[in-house]
Amino acid sequence: MTNFSTIDLCIFIAYIVIIVGMGLWIGRRKKSDGTATDYFLAGNKLTWWAIGASLIAANISAEQMIGMSGSGFKIGLGIASYEWMAAITLILVAKFIMPVFLKNKIYTMPQFLEKRFDGRVKTAMAVFWLVLYVFVNLTSILYLGALALENIMGIPMIWGIIGLACFAAAYSIYGGLKSVAWTDIVQVVLLIGGGLATTFIALNMVSGDNGIIAGFKDLYTFAGDKFDMVLSKDNPNYQELPGIGVIIGGLWIANISYWGFNQYIIQRGLAAKSIKEAQKGMVFAGFLKLLIPIIVVLPGIAAYYLNAKGMLDTTIVKSDQAYPVLVSLLPVGIKGIAFAALTAAIVSSLASMLNSTSTIFTLDIYKPYINKEASEKRLVSVGRLVSLIALIVAVLTARPLLGKLDQAFQYIQEFTGFVSPGVCAIFLLGIFWKKMSANAALWCVILTFVLSTLFKVFLPGVPFMDRMMYVFLILCAISIIISLIDAKHGKQSKSDIVKLDKSIFHTSTAFNVWSIIITAIVAVLYILFW
């Protein structure tokens, strides 16, 4: 181990014991091996605070703690758009999308596609999601987490990957979504507390022990260009964050796809006790999202300052080394807490991703196509087996896929962006336009990859965020044309199956007030750092 004291190690081990023990206890006490609904959807009994905490714990992983800090190191505060705009997206999803799913008793996103369109669309998207989860999301979480273990504790990369996989598997595969969601409450407290401690100590280091306010002023004075939220075209990082296009363009596609139609995220809302409980949980998550750039982006900018001033023992060569190097400099005791927070982010996301992967495979592929008569107990067993297989595949492919990247966060966003335009077009038109046909939806599934690839190969100068918006608009136009042709030839859409009336979009006064507050805070932040 490098620079990791006995006290830090004891704190870290205590954290592991508490989380694994809690997860197994909840899984046993709640009888998560009873029914598929219990295992995959926590029995539809999650409360707002469990939903909000679990959303953030699932979302904030190594790709944020390590990857986004690395982007903060290289690009600056502009990368915070992913977080602050997500707060607004959560409000929109809570008001306009979540009620539709809960009203129609939707358990998985492919299930909605089958109900609204047909089995072809459902199966195609289910397969694409499974590939994305295993080869992009799970691999990135494992790789970046192992990178942190290697930089902070000196653990070889391969053993870090295996260790994290075993940790997540220890409780999530047995306990299902209940174990994941309820342990996430502890994880998110640790994540935010430890993350804020890391940020404050880093700012104090920047100021030479003169306090965090002085540190922020020094950071802003030295690296003012790192605090631009909207990058100009002459900025070397414009390709990653294309100026005003971030605010009015492709990032909305990425965010709506991620927060509204991603099983990995939306599953928490689908497991809520009620629509109002789900909405309160998502607003709570929106408030927490406002804090995330302080936890993950500011440390990256601070690391840039310390690296440029020669104040680090280790020179940062790759951007994704910024956060691990920073954590290694923390005082004894605080380092153990910060590292536990980092691990909490990694493991909670791994556990959530595993649960969603097994949910889609078991309910949308195994039951309808392989064993239609499968018992509840059999479905849970298959779900556990699929989680294990997905984890093994991710362990074997994590390093080969991501080992040579400088900013893994950007890799994740770009390749997820191949799917996002099609997902948004299918779901948004499927929910809000009655004439959307199954053939149009199927073409969306196919063309989202084809068009994204064509843009990347033949128009490499187009930033990937702009590409997402262009592909989305093209897909919408094609879908409308195909749907109108289908209607002309007498092919009826299944829009009547999805119940949609204005009353389900009614939200409480409290929800509306908190939504306005979140929106106002985001607006002020953009005005301050424009």
Three-class DSSP labels, 317-361: CCHHHHHHHHHHCCCCCHHHHHHHHHHHHHHHHHHHHHHHHHHHH
Most distant CA pair in the chain, distance = 74
Which tokens is 156 given? Answer: 């070889």
Phi, psi of 385 (to 5 degrees): -65, -40
Q: How many other C-beta atoms lie within 10 A of the C-beta of residue 77?
A: 22
CA distance 129 to 233: 34
Q: 175: closest CA among 24, 327, 279?
A: 24
Amino acid at 507: T
Say whether pLDDT at 496 is over 80. Answer: no
- Per residue in 6-24, pLDDT tens? 888 888 888 878 877 777 7
- CATH number of the domain that residue 50 is part of: 1.20.1730.10
Q: Once rounded to an integer, what is the mean pLDDT over residues 503-525?
A: 93
- Determine, yes or no, domain membership for 428: no
Strand partners, 46: 272
Say whether pLDDT at 328 is over 90. Answer: no
> What pLDDT, on a 0 to 100 scale, did the predictor assign at position 350?
81
- Per residue in 201-250, pLDDT tens? 889 999 988 989 999 999 999 988 899 998 888 888 888 888 888 888 88
To the nearest 10 degrees (0 to 180), the angle between helices 420-432 and 250-261 is 70
CA dihedral 421, 137, 366, 257 (to 10 degrees): -30
To the nearest 10 degrees (0 to 180), the angle between helices 376-402 and 139-153 is 60
> What integer best gives the mean pLDDT of the chain?
84
Phi, psi of 31 (to 5 degrees): 55, 50
**Of 381 and 267, which is predicted with more confidence?**
381
- Give counts: helices (H), strands (E), the chain: 25, 0
- Determine, yes or no, domain membership for 19: yes
- Determine, yes or no, domain membership for 490: no
Q: 305: closest CA among 291, 324, 326, 320?
A: 326
- Determine, yes or no, domain membership for 429: no
- Per residue in 86-139, pLDDT tens? 999 999 999 999 998 888 888 888 888 998 898 899 998 899 889 888 888 888
**Distance (Å) of CA 494 to CA 107, 112, 433, 504:** 19, 11, 11, 20
Strand partners, 272: 46
> What pLDDT, on a 0 to 100 scale, did the predictor assign at position 32?
44
> What pLDDT, on a 0 to 100 scale, did the predictor assign at position 90?
96
- Determine, yes or no, domain membership for 454: no
Confidence of residue 43 (pLDDT cuts 50, 70, 90): low
Confidence of residue 379 (pLDDT cuts 50, 70, 90): confident
User: For the chain, how big is the Rg over CA atoms in Å?
Assistant: 22
Q: Where are the alpha helices (DSSP H) in 207-274?
A: 212-222, 244-248, 250-261, 263-270
- Determine, yes or no, domain membership for 426: no
Amino acid at 500: L
> What pLDDT, on a 0 to 100 scale, did the predictor assign at position 497?
67
**Distance (Å) of CA 53 to CA 18, 441, 513:** 18, 33, 20
Which residues span the domain enclosing 67? 6-416+500-528
Residues sharing a CB contact under 8 Å with residue 230, sequence separation 6 or more, in sequence order: 78, 243, 244, 246, 247, 526, 530
- Determine, yes or no, domain membership for 378: yes
CA distance 424 to 460: 23
Say whether pLDDT at 33 is over 60. Answer: no
What's the total number of domains in the chain? 1
Given a contact cutoff of 8 angstroms between Cβ atoms, the answer to whether 435 and 478 are in contact is no
**Distance (Å) of CA 513 to CA 283, 499, 509, 523, 527:** 10, 28, 6, 15, 21
Q: What is the share, in percent, of the chain residues with pLDDT greater than 90?
A: 28
Which tokens is 280 given? Answer: 């309160």
- Determine, yes or no, domain membership for 447: no
